[in-house]
Amino acid sequence: MTIRQLPDTLINQIAAGEVVERPASVVKELVENALDAGARRIDIDLEDGGIRLIRIRDDGGGIDASELPLAVQRHATSKIASIDDLESVATLGFRGEALPSVASVSRFRLTSRRSGSEHGALLQVDGGKVGEVTPHAHPPGTTVEVRDLFYNVPARRKFLRAERTELSHIEEWLRTLALARPDVELRVAHNGKPSRRWKGEAQLQEGTMLSDVRLHEALGEDFTRNALRVDHDGAGMRLHGWIAQPAYNRASSDQQYLYVNGRSVRDRNVSHAIRQAYADVLFHGRHPAYVLFLELDPRGVDVNVHPAKHEVRFRESRLVHDFVYRTLHQALAETRAGATAMPMQ
């Protein structure tokens, strides 16, 4: 048996197995990068459900031409520099894995112009083979183009589903991201046709709350009409967002959006607390709907649990559980009291 050091491209392709499951995961990583770069507007062009093309353009801070090769290197990131930074990370990314992973399993183009710089530049990577940086016109900001996802990994390509299915996974991720960042405008086009526009601050009518507009756009009239606004501080935490009144409930957990410090996560502990809060007011087998943001000291939560960052670990999970449970239980109790009081007025 011979032990050998694997080549970089293969290492990246192996890492891609964890980070890049399908086009939706690419969209998630790239939009998160745009948000981390301070984008105010993000344009997303898709072809064939993202299988043939994902192109994401932002007006964020951009990347200097000299740093383009680093951006597609594994474990290269501008977001953390030490273990202390990791403990208090405020950006969505920090592992320096997404770009090299995606670039190793697609035909990849990264074009960028740093704000304040005169010129843009382009770097192409073909199935992990990194080319030369060349000058390329681009407004301040970044465009990432991902063509033919998994073209060089037939085993993964085989698992891609029909265009419609992949597109709906992308739309779901965009909804998730859009709910968390109502301040950013998102425009989506599929096969050359505009398919969705999430309005930003610039298109806001006076007197409307951007987050309310987003909620309505994301979850529709029924949810919005039944939504209770929650905003509560306690135990060093804040829980805010909307929960649906029990009368509005779902057959599945399809409208459950939970964010911890701005990051969309699945968490059994918090889900359990929410379910408990609804236990007395929801029929068995029905699921509550909610969009909830939990904010706490970043040192109280470990975000480095999984490469795709779908999970977190709380230092004091019992405390978190009780805080969420009490806050929502109280909010639901208040509406019930309100509901019974009304006919007597």
How far apart are alpha carbons 163 and 307 in whole angstroms? 26
Tell whether residue 89 is a contact of Mg ion (CB under 5 A).
Answer: no
> Least distance (Å) from ligand ADP to the CB of residue 133?
14
Q: Which does residue 243 bind out of ligand ADP, Mg ion, none, counting CB within 5 to 8 angstroms by kind?
A: none
Strands (E), 157-281: 185-190, 193-198, 227-234, 237-244, 256-260, 263-264
Q: Which does residue 327 bind out of Mg ion, ligand ADP, none, counting CB within 5 to 8 angstroms by kind?
A: none
Check residue 5 and report its DSSP letter. P
> Least distance (Å) from ligand ADP to the CB of residue 76?
6
Tell whether residue 30 is a contact of Mg ion (CB under 5 A).
Answer: no
Q: Which one, 142 or 245, has the nearer CB to ligand ADP?
A: 142
Candidates 31-39, 170-178, 214-222, 242-250: pick the segment binding Mg ion (CB under 5 A): 31-39
> Least distance (Å) from ligand ADP to the CB of residue 42?
9
> Least distance (Å) from Mg ion to the CB of residue 30?
8
Taking each helix axis as running N to C, give the angle between helix 163-180 and helix 210-225, from 0 to 180 degrees, rounded to the nearest 10. 120
Q: Which one, 49 or 61, has the nearer CB to ligand ADP?
A: 61
How far apart are alpha carbons 278 and 244 in whole angstroms? 10
Structure tokens at 301: 């939560």
Structure tokens at 121: 């530049």
Which of 13, 33, 104, 111 is in the footprint of Mg ion by CB under 5 A? 33
Check residue 144 and report its DSSP letter. E
Numbers of helices and strands, H then E, in the chain: 10, 15
| DSSP track, 34-89 | HHHTT-SEEEEEEEGGGTSEEEEEE-SS---GGGHHHHTSTT--SS--SHHHHHT-
> Least distance (Å) from ligand ADP to the CB of residue 202?
20
134: amino acid identity, one letter: T
How far apart are alpha carbons 118 and 28 in whole angstroms? 29
Candidates 28-36, 108-116, 182-190, 337-345: pick the segment binding Mg ion (CB under 5 A): 28-36
Q: Which one, 98 or 230, has the nearer CB to Mg ion?
A: 98
Q: Which one, 170 or 227, has the nearer CB to Mg ion?
A: 170
Positions that interact with ligand ADP (CB under 6 A):
29, 33-34, 37, 58, 60-63, 71, 77-79, 93-99, 142
> Least distance (Å) from ligand ADP to the CB of residue 188?
17
Question: How many other CB atoms are found less than 10 A from the CB of residue 179?
Answer: 22
Q: Which does residue 23 bind out of ligand ADP, Mg ion, none, counting CB within 5 to 8 angstroms by kind?
A: none
For Mg ion, the binding residues (CB under 5 A) are 33, 93, 98
